[in-house]
Amino acid sequence: MTEPSIFTRILNGEIPGDFVARTERVFAIRDINPQAPVHVLIIPVTEQYRDVTELAAGDPGLMAEMVAMAKEIAAEHSNGEYRLIFNNGPSAGQSVFHVHAHVLADIEEGKLVGF
Ligand code: 5GP
């Protein structure tokens, strides 16, 4: 058995998390190291997909649910506009191999981060 991911442990209440949304299949927490005033991670409950490539091939509907949640969070916490970032692979900045999308919003002009 592989260890549960950090996100699964947060979902299970083993580690504290600041939840901003939750459905049956997707949840959202604030990133612990925010890169913008709104920096939320959108995460499927299942950790069977390592990255967005696997997710898109395996369950495109689940990916669509993640995008719908991103839009709702940006509307609720900012002006509805947002960046949606998936890091894919360690050299591209991925550190947690339980697929997740970064929602960045409320970004000050000229302060777009690249990470
Ligand atoms: P990645 O680098 O895989 O694209 O994104 C992983 C993200 O998870 C990072 O932005 C990192 O700050 C965030 N993260 C890592 N550990 C925790 C944690 O314990 N709680 C929360 N809320 N975010 C975390």
Q: Within 13 Å of residue 63, how many CA atoms lie on the same side as its CB?
A: 16
Give residue ranges with CB within 6 A of ligand 1.
Answer: 6, 15, 17, 29-33, 41, 87, 93-96
Ligand 1 atom closest to Cα of residue 18: 22
Q: Do residues 62 and 103 lie in contact, with contact meaning Cβ atoms separated by under 8 Å?
A: no
- Alpha helix segments (H runs only) across 1-115: 6-11, 52-58, 60-77
Q: Which of 19, 39, 23 shows the shortest CA–CA distance to 31?
A: 39
The pLDDT profile of the chain, 115 residues, written as one tens digit per residue, is 689 999 999 999 999 999 999 999 999 999 999 999 999 999 999 999 999 999 999 999 999 999 999 999 999 999 999 999 999 999 999 999 999 999 999 988 877 776 6
Q: Do residues 47 and 8 lie in contact, with contact meaning Cβ atoms separated by under 8 Å?
A: yes
Q: How far lies 43's CA from each of 46, 62, 79, in Å?
A: 8, 10, 22
- Name the superfamily (CATH) of residues 6-101: HIT-like (3.30.428.10)
